[in-house]
Amino acid sequence: MGQGKVLGVMLGLMVGLLIGNPWAIILLGVVGGIAGYRFDEMHSLPSESPDALADFPPLEPSAFATRGGPRDAASVQEESDAHLTRSLCALFVEVARADGEVRREEVREIRRYFEETLKYGPDSLEFVRGRLKDFISHPPDLDDAAAACQEALPALERRRLLEALYELSLVDGALQRSEREVLGRVGGALGLSDAEQQAVASIHLGDASMHYEVLGLTAAASDSDVKRAFRRLAAELHPDKHAHLSGEDADEAARQFQEVRDAYEEIRRLRGL
């Protein structure tokens, strides 16, 4: 029986005893039990996704007897590291869910980050697993998590964190528009400049600066700016407008038009438009 149900029955019985009517005691005891049951239902941990957490199983109780890494559950939960760890888990879950769901390979990548990059030991990984389970079921506040990481981490570590989040977003294929938007939001909330964010994106997506230059833009341009620039240049360079040209002039006009189209298509691919 859940704690809420027990407390509900007890409170109902106490009120019934105060009233002094036997039927009131029974009725209020039942009502209290029902209310407590509903409380337990609303506040119990939801069942975890077997697919998402399949590669991150709970540790056996015996595993807690060995402190396998430089950071263990006791230290993570008792020190200020706990808040940072929760915030990191929140960011990873929000990037993973940006395309609609948290997949098994994404959870595997998150575990790799904590286990190999941060060198978390078994107990610390169990703490991480618990936070992932919570956040998969109950989405965290992205801005609060990013703000906590900005406060706790130096600039270089914040950039490395964004790189890890890019790696996570690409685990299941090409970067989706929704993922790019979340990454941009996280990068800004981490206090990274547009230039720093673009540098990180270039490492993982390729350097698209030349494609933006063809459209007369920079990587900071919005999606609407990109589309507007493409429509304007495509209209100016469309072959129908240069049908009167011949020879080298016609070839040059056709080349420019194709260059604009290629640049736009590449930017669309990178941005998930």
69/109 same-domain check:
yes
Token pair for 140: 């965290």
Of 267, 142, 134, nearest to 213 by C-alpha is 267
pLDDT in tens, 166-215: 999 888 777 777 888 899 999 999 999 988 888 888 777 766 677 888 88
Q: What is the pLDDT of residue 205?
A: 72
Distance CA 196, CA 199 (A): 5
Distance (Å, rounded) from C-alpha 83 to C-alpha 91?
Answer: 13
Same domain flag for 16 and 100:
no
Last residue within a domain, chosen from 205, 224, 248: 205
The parent domain of residue 39 ranges over 3-43
> Alpha helix (H) ranges present in the chain?
3-19, 22-43, 73-78, 81-96, 104-112, 122-137, 142-152, 155-169, 177-189, 194-205, 209-214, 223-237, 247-271
51 domain residue, yes or no? no
Q: Are residues 194 and 229 in the same domain?
A: no
Under the banding of pLDDT at 50, 70 and 90, the label for residue 17 is low
Q: What's the predicted TM-score (pTM) here?
A: 0.58
Which residue from 186, 198, 113, 191 is spatially nearest to 150, judged by alpha carbons? 191
Does some domain include residue 161? yes
Choose one of 185, 205, 225: the last residue of a domain: 205
Residues 116 and 171 in one domain: yes
Same domain, residue pair 157 and 189? yes
Residue 229 included in any domain: yes
Q: Is residue 228 part of a domain?
A: yes
Residue 53 in domain:
no
Do 151 and 198 fall into the same domain? yes
Q: Does residue 28 or residue 246 have the better pLDDT?
A: 246
Q: Nearest Cα to 205, choosing from 224, 184, 185?
A: 184
Q: Which of 205, 229, 246 is at the close of a domain?
A: 205
State the total domains in the chain: 3
- Which own/partner contact pairs does 230-239 have at CB distance under 8 Å and 24+ positions apart? 230/260, 230/264, 233/260, 234/260, 234/261, 234/264
